[in-house]
Chain A
């Protein structure tokens, strides 16, 4: 497994765990709370900070454990896999953005529009990671 694969796997798992927890909390107790706007804002900030810290720490650990692989430059295969995965991610993000626009047209509460947009972003990022891992493993 290359360093890029390890990095992608780690980032994708972190996204699933951190934002999975976020959505369990937000769609559960926070959605029914009277101050859901304030609560979800705090949770978004907290989830973003936690994700950033965990991503930095995990990549430092990966770089120490796999020192020889860490400085490998990306080649044409890496770039092609990234492009294909980003294209998939772009489609998912676009669908999410349209869903947000439709929710706004329907005058849905800002809270739900924000959740839809955030969910689209998380889904797009996770799909990009999974797509990369599949292409590295199965070939392209």
Chain B
């Protein structure tokens, strides 16, 4: 049985970041967090603040609800 993730928020950051040709370190630098935090967000181990979420969406040039999802 798969271990439940600490957050129910899911995201497409890995896919969108790779499409944009950005590394985790580059994305981290542009939104003002550490590479480890970007990694934790991508793996569903940390839900970013609203401000960081907006910054991620802006850097990846996608609307917020295309980057993040929360199950109904």
Which residues of A pack against B, CB within 8 Å?
2, 72, 75-78, 138-140
Contacting residues, chain B, for A75 (C-beta < 8 A): 32-34, 37
Which residues of B pack against A, CB within 8 Å?
5-7, 32-34, 36-37, 40, 43-46, 48-49, 52
Contacting residues, chain B, for A72 (C-beta < 8 A): 34
- Contact call A139/B34, Cβ cutoff below 8 A: no
Number of A-B contacts (CB under 8 A): 35
Contacting residues, chain B, for A78 (C-beta < 8 A): 34, 37
Query: What's the least CB distance linking B45 to chain A, in Å?
Result: 3
Query: What's the least CB distance linking B32 to chain A, in Å?
Result: 7
- Contact call A2/B44, Cβ cutoff below 8 A: no
Nearest 9 pairs of A and B residues by beta carbon: A139-B45, A139-B6, A75-B33, A77-B37, A2-B36, A75-B34, A76-B49, A75-B37, A77-B46
- Contact call A139/B40, Cβ cutoff below 8 A: yes
